[in-house]
Amino acid sequence: VVCTERVITCDGDAVQHLGCDTGVISVQTALYGRTDDVTCSKGRPKQQLANTQCSQEGTVDILKKRYMYKNRSRSLMLSLNVFALSCHMQCFFYNLRICEGSLAQLHCDDGLVIVVLGADYGRRDQTTCSYKRPVSQIQNVYCTSPTTKVAESCSGKESCSISVSNSLFGDPCVSTYKYLEVAYTCECK
């Protein structure tokens, strides 16, 4: 008789216990990562749920090596800490929009560093950073200026702050109220 059981353990959950009354436990498939935006989503910001094509290769092999002698038992305790040591994933994607005159703050958790994918200073729509702005300052939506200054200042750091201003990024469209858009991930050091 073959019994199958599917269990889900979310980051932050300490241990997953697998058990069976008869026979042995044999892990057939395993996924560490994210394939949808619903599973383990409670309390998570949207940007942490955005990448649904994120998984660590070799998850089953890691489990088999880690629990090679234990997998014949009738009880198995699994912890996500085994994957934290592997650290090969780039799963969290952040896309920030910071209004002109504000401070952009990029941050990664301990052990991870910022990798800037791209940054643009200007305006692409009439709604972002538009609160209490006259129409004349937000109507030019064809004002974009890609910049490497964010990557130069922040990539490789755990956290970084940048003043969003014309003095740093130049003024690609005079009289238009602009914002900085930054896309970045957090990766292992």
Give the domain extent around 39: 16-84
136 lies in the same domain as 105? yes
Our count of domains for the chain comes to 2
Q: Which amino acid is at 96?
A: L
**Per-residue pLDDT at 29 exceeds 60:** yes
- pLDDT exceeds 50 at position 27: yes
CATH (domain of 171):
2.60.120.740
Within a domain: 39: yes
What is this structure's pTM? 0.57
| pLDDT: which is higher, 98 or 16 | 98
pLDDT of residue 62: 65
pLDDT at 71: 42
> What pLDDT band is residue 86 in, cutting at 50, 70 and 90?
very low
Mean pLDDT, the chain, rounded, equals 78
Instruction: Detail the DSSP E strand segments found in the chain.
Output: 16-19, 33-34, 54-55, 75-78, 93-99, 103-107, 112-123, 143-146, 159-163, 179-188
